Amino acid sequence: MFEPGTTPPEVRPAGRTSGPVWSRPGHVPGAIGVAQAREMEPAGVDWRGSLGLHTAHCTIVVVDVEGFGLRSRTNPNKVRVRRGMYRAVEHAFIAARIPWAVCWRADLGDGVLVLAPAQISKALFVDLLLGALADEIAAHNRMHPPPECIRLRLALHAGEVSYDDHGVTGSAILHAQQLLDTLELKRALAKTTAVLAVIASDWIFDEVVRHSERSGADTYRAVETSGGRAWIRLLARRRDLRRRRRAG
């Protein structure tokens, strides 16, 4: 589905991306959203009807840094924060046995959009990725001063993603981004000392989280968002969680 070792495109607001893209067999090089070369020509597109889309089902992960633009952070601080965010996310994917090299990635400035191929089990995201990411964030924070410490918000969803000559888009990506921006998620993280706030779409919770014995389904709580019901979970590093459980 995805070609490893390619350069991720740059992202634009509202889930649209631009820049280099992967070519696939049967596609025009540099235009993964167009199946046939003739469709590149104006005469080959019927603007009165539907446009033939090329889509793929993906697991969608969107991450951003809480308070990235705070005035207390200088530009060097922001660079180290971004570096730490990318390192934490990549290492967490590897620890969760999710192949980082085959995932499509786009930079968001204060975050990253990651699309994983459908053949990668979604259980890995809810069972292993989140805890590993909390551990990686905590490890980063131990080594950096307060302006370079990070707390992350993460939205988890899945759905059809459409490809065109500019990159990727689709209602599933937009929904994940809207979940990440919900006030409920921001408030939940602000009220705690957790390092990671996760918001899972209702689909992910109903189809994946609640069926897994390792996902910590009972630690999620339902919230109503503008896009419908979603589920929030807060994570500290796993060592802290085990200590709290023993104390309780």
pLDDT tens for each residue of 222-244: 999 988 999 999 999 765 444 44
pLDDT, tens digit, for every residue of 50-83?
556 688 899 999 999 999 999 999 999 999 999 9
Decide if 17 is inside a domain.
no
Find residue 60's DSSP bridge partners: 115, 157
- Stated as kind and residue range, the H or E segment containing 135 is helix 130-142
Helix axes of 130-142 and 238-247: crossing angle, nearest 10 degrees: 100
* 199 inside domain: yes
- C-beta separation of 209 from 217 below 8 A: yes
The tokens describing 97, both together, are 């046995």
Give the per-residue pLDDT at 245: 41
| More confident site: 197 or 7 | 197
pLDDT digits (tens, 9 = 90+) for 4-48: 454 444 444 444 443 333 333 333 333 333 333 334 434 444 445
Report the C-alpha gap between 93 and 88 in whole angstroms: 9
- Measured distance CA(171)–CA(57) in Å, rounded: 12
Residue 40 included in any domain: no
At 239 the pLDDT is: 57
pLDDT, mean of residues 209-226: 95
Residue 24 included in any domain: no
Domain that holds residue 114: 53-247
pLDDT score recorded for residue 91: 97
109 φ/ψ angles, rounded to the nearest 5 degrees: 85, -65
pLDDT score at 227: 86
Q: Report the C-alpha gap between 199 and 23 in whole angstroms.
A: 32
Is residue 146 in some structural domain? yes
Residue 91 · residue 161 · CB < 8 Å: no
Residue 144 lies in a domain: yes
Mean pLDDT estimate for the chain: 82
SS3 of 115, please? strand
Overall domain count for the chain: 1
Residue 9 lies in a domain: no
Domain annotation covers residue 14: no
pLDDT at 204 over 80: yes
Burial degree of 184 (CB within 10 A; 0-12, 13-18, 19+):
middle
pLDDT at position 164 is 80
Domain at 152, CATH number:
3.30.70.1230
Amino acid letter, residue 62: V
pTM for this structure?
A: 0.76
pLDDT over 80 at 98, yes or no: yes
